[in-house]
Chains A and B, each alone.
Chain A
Amino acid sequence: MLAKRIIPCLDVTAGRVVKGTNFVDLRDAGDPIEIARRYDEQGADEVTFLDITASSDQRDLILHIIEACAAQVFIPLTVGGGVRQVADVRRLLNAGADKVSMNTAAVLNPELIFDASSKVGSQCIVVAIDAKQIAPGKWHVFTHGGRNDTGLDALDWAKRVEMLGAGEILLTSMDRDGTKNGFDLALTRAVSDNVKIPVIASGGVGNLQHLADGITDGHADAVLAASIFHFGEYTVRQAKEFMVGCGIEVRL
């Protein structure tokens, strides 16, 4: 039976892993390759790097990090942040990424999803959706790290990216990100039930019950978390054992 996935996420800037609250107030969490290796040893099902670097001269750093990581860590590696064109996708895949995640650029130019998935295959293309509740049961897509309201309905946009060829959706609740109050389960379930491609729940994990809830109540195919793993509160292994206790199929 297919296992539900646990994906530690590493926000990388200037060659270091950092973590903030609601996209601000960043704390240093360590060396990305060292951290990725540790998660691999703990049984992580994938690792995601998000390059949150603003300046382009620092951006190339991520390529070296991916190259080094791909030589040592033999689990799937997703990379996102600053992907603007198909050439960026190719560059990241050639460095050793297995999947590339796009966000703002996909909103500005939805054709990019189609072009990229036609070129490299849907299985490599993840569309990251940052969603914020604007009314009960209604969410909008935000870009630029949560600063711009695009006016797009999150459910419509999820359906659209699926049709354009996305192979997976990384769904982050802007309301919950960094809060440790748990996923926005209504959002997660609404999106997951609305598409036929896998959905990764993200934003708000503060304990292991939150991870399990994302699967059982949110209907997510995978759950992503950062700070609960980075700062040693829990290991990935502990998270999986907890999920087994909840009757969730995982890889141990």
Chain B
Amino acid sequence: MNSANIVAVIDYGMGNLRSVSKALAHVAGSQQVVVTADPAVVAAAGRVVFPGQGAMPDCMRELDARGLRSAVLAAARDKPFLGICIGLQMLFAHSDEGDVAGLGVFSGEVRRFPDSQMFGADSQRLKVPHMGWNNVAQKPHSLWANITDAARFYFVHSYCVQPADTTLVAGVAEYGVPFTCAVARDNIFAVQFHPEKSARDGLQLLKNFVEWRP
């Protein structure tokens, strides 16, 4: 088996990775999708997907408990790397959720939706978590290929990232306030929404990722 042909989905024990791996397998062509907790498999893989669900403090703890931190950081340096949901948030320096340090790949904060601004156009209260299909305004990036600007993706979250460097922003959504829902730098692309649950456009984004040559 040629390791460079492997798409590694990092498994640190937080939540269900079946959806992510099935959706990737659906678009991966000849590449093989592997769900793994083995740092050596991550190191050898051609591409890495870093998902996450639940609370960020638990995710950070489990990542370290499984000795995967350095494998994730190494992959984020030079492999095509896709962060999803908490996998996006963990790339940042710090999260207000449980006041926990992230991996610090990007400087910036992860903050809860501001309670005081959670009102819709009709002044009806907006619910948190932000759950459902929302429009994503794209900044030019090859991972948006064949996806209409402002297409809707499926979100479930209560916290969002605030990059210190705004040139990282690759996508913006709006819920009470505009918020960064995709970031990109070099070999890294990371999204707050769930492409694996976002029907055709989500599958297209995953397809763009498995074909991506950053």
B175 neighbours in A (Cβ, 8 Å): 2
Q: Report how far A42 CA is from B31 CA in the complex, Å.
A: 30
Distance from A33 Cβ to chain B, minimum over Cβ atoms (Å): 14
A74-B202, A76-B154, A120-B15 known; A2 and B130 CB under 8 Å? yes
Interchain CB contact under 8 A, B133 and A251: yes
Contact with A along B1-42 (1 / 0, CB 8 A): 000000000000001101100110010000000000000000
| B152: Cβ under 8 A from any A Cβ | yes
Minimum C-beta distance from A123 to chain B (A)? 4
**Chain A contacts for B196, CB-based, 8 A:** 74
**Chain B hits for A98, CB < 8 A:** 16, 19, 156, 197
Contact between B197 and A121, CB atoms less than 8 A apart: no
A197–B129 CA distance with the chains assembled, in angstroms: 7
Give Cα distance in the complex from A168 to B197, angstroms: 18
The residue among B53, B121, B130, B155 with the most chain A CB atoms within 10 A of its own CB is B53
Task: Write out the residue numbers on chain B whose beta carbons fall within 8 Å of the beta carbon of A74.
Answer: 19, 22-23, 26, 196-199, 202-203
A221 vs B16: C-alpha distance when bound (angstroms): 25
Tell me which of A2, A122, A219 contacts B134 (CB under 8 A).
Answer: A2
Which of A67, A75, A121 counts the most B-chain CB atoms under 10 A from its CB?
Answer: A121
**Known contacts A70-B19, A95-B18, A98-B16; A123 and B53 CB within 8 A of each other:** yes
List B residues at the A interface (Cβ < 8 Å): 15-16, 18-19, 22-23, 26, 53-55, 120-121, 124-135, 152, 154-158, 174-175, 194, 196-199, 202-203
Whole-angstrom distance between the Cβ of B176 and the nearest chain A Cβ: 10
Q: Which residue of A lies closest to B154 (CB)?
A: A76
Complex partner residue of A196 from B22, B127, B134, B155, CB under 8 angstroms: B127
Q: A2-B133, A45-B132, A197-B129 are in contact. Are A75 and B16 (CB under 8 A)?
A: no
Which residues does chain B contribute within 8 Å of A150, judged by CB atoms? Answer: none
Closest-CB distance, B126 to chain A (whole angstroms) = 8
Assuming A76-B154, A197-B128, what are 10 further A-B pairs, CB within 8 angstroms? Answer: A1-B135, A45-B154, A70-B22, A74-B19, A74-B198, A75-B199, A76-B194, A121-B54, A167-B129, A196-B127
